[in-house]
């Protein structure tokens, strides 16, 4: 029997706690701070040498998740075309940052992706929502606020207490991108394990990827965010636009990749980025510093997904 499911009918399914590790995201700082380690340390090495801290992150292999957006997917919207819509929660802002600055950081990150050219690829288009509405289906499903209704393809669902990351099984994460995918029967599955062979997922474009229904992006409130470079260039504060850009990359189906090597002093201030900083992928998980650009490898990953959009059936 097919394990189709409507999460709205079963709001506290234990599967939610098993949020796909690969889709979960740790951009962070927390991984080298005292206390419980962050969740994605496996490919990151931290060394001490002559009073300096050296962080090496090497991520090879998959640059994409086994799930993806489908062009012109009428299940999302009758006129979806080459667009993905996005919405921004105004009720849960980063601590100490105004709505105006938050909105500006999100819009800047969106514009960065909209400016990547690889044919007639997708466009990210904003939808306005109730300014007082707490957005976030995943939040709602674990009983931590939010809303049961998906308002956009990609929702910046807010800056939330770590209790939410814990409920997702991703305690320690600074950012978390939660997927929702169509099952073969058309129901929507939240927070699944895409490797679970017992679930019959939809793949209407036959690209061997599960079809995305929605993505929700969350950030922790337990971090210091800044909006002005170079204040964000230390291990202990996060540049808002940089982390938004990184998580948006995940929401577009991009996984971690590339290599970074960063040297910090004993106070966590940056001494050097060993590799050419301009070519450091912002999709590397070791993206601690201000990185608001799409590097060559980021673009290659993005275009690998979206260059075929708009070229008709069989375009990929
Ligand atoms: Zn990440």
Q: Mean pLDDT in each 10-residue stretch from start to end of the chain (316 residues)?
A: 29 26 28 28 68 75 78 95 97 97 98 90 94 96 95 98 90 88 90 70 89 95 84 74 94 84 74 66 77 89 91 60
User: How crowded is residue 299: how many other Cβ atoms within 10 Å of its Cβ?
Assistant: 16
Nearest to 127 by CA among 58, 173, 77, 91: 77
User: What is residue 114's predicted lDDT score, i.e. its pLDDT?
Assistant: 96
DSSP per position, 105-151: HHHHHHHHHHT--SSS--EEEE----TT----HHHHHTTSS--SS--
Is 124 a domain residue? yes
Ligand 1 centre from 79 Cα, in Å?
A: 30
Give me ligand 1 centre to Cα 175, in Å: 8
Q: Please give the residue range of the domain that contains residue 136.
A: 14-42+63-255
pLDDT on residue 233 = 64
Position 280 scores a pLDDT of 77
- Is position 287 within any domain? no
> Is residue 83 left, alpha or beta, with left meaning phi > 0 and alpha meaning psi from -120 to 50?
beta
Is 189 a member of any domain? yes
Number of domains in the chain: 1
Q: What letters, b where the CB count within 10 A reaches 16 and e where it falls short, cover 219-245?
A: bbbebebbbeeeebbbbebbbbbbbbb
* Residue 19 confidence (pLDDT): 23
Tell me whether strands 175-182 and 24-25 are parallel, antiparallel or unpaired: antiparallel
Coil, strand or helix at 232: coil
pLDDT at 153: 98
Cα(285) to centroid(ligand 1), Å: 5
Distances (CA, A) of 271 to 227, 234, 264, 289: 21, 9, 5, 11
Q: What is the reported pLDDT for 33?
A: 24
Ligand 1 centre to CA of 144 (Å) is 23
Residue 151 lies in a domain: yes
CA of 78 to the centre of ligand 1 (A): 31
How much distance in Å is there from the Cα of 2 to the middle of ligand 1? 32
Q: How many Å lie between the centroid of ligand 1 and the Cα of residue 68?
A: 16
Evaluate whether residue 208 is within a structural domain.
yes
Inside any domain, residue 68: yes
pLDDT for res 199? 79
How many angstroms is it from 208 CA to the middle of ligand 1? 23
Cα 250 to ligand 1 centroid, rounded to whole Å: 7
At 287 the pLDDT is 66
């Amino acid at each position: 029997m097919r394990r189709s499911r409507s999460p709205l009918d079963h709001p506290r399914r234990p599967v939610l706690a098993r949020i796909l590790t690969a889709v979960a995201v740790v951009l962070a700082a927390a991984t080298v701070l005292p206390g419980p380690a962050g969740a994605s340390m496996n490919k990151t090495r931290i060394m001490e040498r002559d009073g300096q801290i050296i962080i090496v992150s090497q991520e090879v292999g998959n640059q994409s998740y086994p799930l993806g957006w489908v062009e012109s997917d009428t299940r999302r919207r009758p006129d979806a075309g080459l667009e993905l819509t996005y919405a921004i929660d105004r009720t849960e802002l980063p601590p100490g940052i105004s709505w105006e600055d938050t909105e500006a950081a999100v819009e800047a990150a969106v514009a960065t992706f909209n400016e990547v050219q690889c044919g007639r690829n997708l466009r990210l288009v904003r939808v306005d929502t109730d300014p007082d509405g707490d957005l976030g289906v995943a939040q709602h499903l674990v009983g931590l606020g939010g809303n049961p209704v998906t308002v956009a393809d990609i929702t910046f669902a807010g800056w939330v207490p770590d209790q939410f990351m814990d409920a997702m099984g991703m305690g320690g994460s600074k950012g978390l991108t939660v997927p929702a995918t169509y099952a073969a029967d058309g129901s929507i599955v939240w927070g699944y394990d895409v490797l679970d062979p017992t679930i019959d997922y939809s793949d209407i474009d036959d690209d061997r990827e599960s079809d995305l229904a929605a993505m929700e992006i969350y950030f922790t409130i337990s971090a210091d965010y800044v909006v002005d470079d170079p204040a964000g260039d230390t291990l202990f504060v996060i540049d808002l636009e940089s982390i938004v850009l990184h998580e948006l990359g995940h929401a577009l189906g991009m996984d971690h990749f590339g290599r970074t090597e960063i040297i910090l002093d004993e106070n966590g201030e940056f001494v050097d980025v060993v590799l050419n900083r301009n070519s450091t992928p912002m999709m590397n998980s070791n993206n601690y510093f201000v990185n608001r650009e799409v590097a060559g490898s980021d673009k290659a990953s993005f275009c690998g997904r979206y260059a075929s959009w708009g070229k008709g059936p069989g375009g990929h």
